[in-house]
Amino acid sequence: MGKCHALAYNAVNGVFSDCPKLRLEMLCDINSDAGRQFAEAFGFKQFSTEWRDALTNPAVDIISITTPNGLHKEMALAALAAGKHVYCEKPLALTLADAGIMAVAARKSGLKTLVGYNYLYNPAILNAARLIKEGAIGRVYFFRGVNDEDYMADPALPHSWRCEVKKAGTGTLGDLAVHLVSLAHLLMGNITQLTAQTYIAHKNRLLEDHPDKTGTVDNEDIASAFVSFESGARGELSSSRSAWGRKNHLTFEIHGDAGMITFDQERMNELRLYSSHDKPEDQGFRIILTGPEHPPYASFIASRGHQLGFNDLKTMEVANLLRGLAGRDELYPDFDDALRIERVIHGMVRSSETGSSITL
């Protein structure tokens, strides 16, 4: 994620000429050799192996946090206390309580925050939101979403920090399902109630340093939930980090009384729309290929079919950060918005543990 951010920092002013100019003042990394090479490659003026050096550097206005989950809270709170705006990768923290502390601290500081949910900036997703708002599929009443990957599918994969609640927090919920929830909130409104189940597919993994021993996996590989939205609409959410063959299968379908919208992030430049208003002989899903008519695609390229990529979404996110700090855009999602997402995933954990429905 650090490289993804750095690529975006180098690209943003060339792609979006209206954004304030971004300066790369300091990069911090615990690995001295790799960090120095990275800082030089991407044009950072200074390097340090101590992240607190960025807090005391008067030239630094924004702290960008791309560390493992367990470090987010300490770094974000220290940055806010030092008077720095904070741009933090998701999820906010290991626990809901810690995420709440971060959101309160941001509110009290008067500083601005942004959380790394870059899929929200996809022009295809923004077009889906426009179509829903304009009534293209009528009254919306159901959302079905999936976010699957296979990075933990192999049972021979060694035990790591990602397997431990004390280091990673939740499993697939905090890594993948949060993206699904972020899209659901954008397109459907906030989730207000849920019933969920979670499952650990591989309960023990070999320790990398001691291959004759195993470590326990204590966070979930798979999670699913039935949800209700504030509008009264219903939905189903499912996520797995152990789904062979799935690389970035972030997909959803939205049902309305006049049609349906579907999307798959692995085909991120395509949105599919079905309208019941078409003549019966013409009805069927049609592909809306993202192009210059769907902002901010045209800022990257003027022709349809040439396609955007994952790193471009992060450049759009950094543009929102810069415009937000300049007071020209609403920063979304900030720590409060991210806290609402965290309430959903931790509500899913609680529902699975208690076997009960959770009201958020």
Q: What is the pLDDT along the chain (360 residues), one digit of tens a residue?
A: 999 999 999 999 999 999 999 999 999 999 999 999 999 999 999 999 999 999 999 999 999 999 999 999 999 999 999 999 999 999 999 999 999 999 999 999 999 999 999 999 999 999 999 999 999 999 999 999 999 999 999 999 999 999 999 999 999 999 999 999 999 999 999 999 999 999 999 999 999 888 889 999 999 999 999 999 999 999 999 999 999 999 999 999 999 999 999 999 999 999 999 999 999 999 999 999 999 999 999 999 999 999 999 999 999 999 999 999 999 999 999 999 999 999 999 999 999 999 999 999
Q: What is the pLDDT of residue 128?
A: 98
Question: What dotted CATH number matches 119-306+332-359?
Answer: 3.30.360.10
Nearest to 174 by CA among 184, 188, 163: 163
Instruction: Identify the helix (H) or strand (E) that includes residue 225.
Output: strand 222-229
Q: What is the pLDDT of residue 212?
A: 87
* 2-118 and 119-306+332-359 share one fold: no
Alpha-carbon torsion (126, 131, 135, 140), positive or negative: negative
Sequence-distant (6+) residues with CB within 8 A of 133 are none
**In Å, what is the CA distance from 176 to each residue of 1, 204, 313, 336?**
14, 21, 17, 19
Q: What is the pLDDT of residue 211?
A: 84
Q: Cis link prior to 123 (omega < 30° from 0)? A: no
Question: What dotted CATH number matches 2-118?
Answer: 3.40.50.720
Beta pairing class for 26-28 and 46-48: parallel
Predicted TM-score of the model (pTM): 0.95
Structural domain boundaries in the chain: 2-118, 119-306+332-359
Q: Where are the beta strands (DSSP E) in 249-339?
A: 249-256, 259-264, 270-275, 286-289
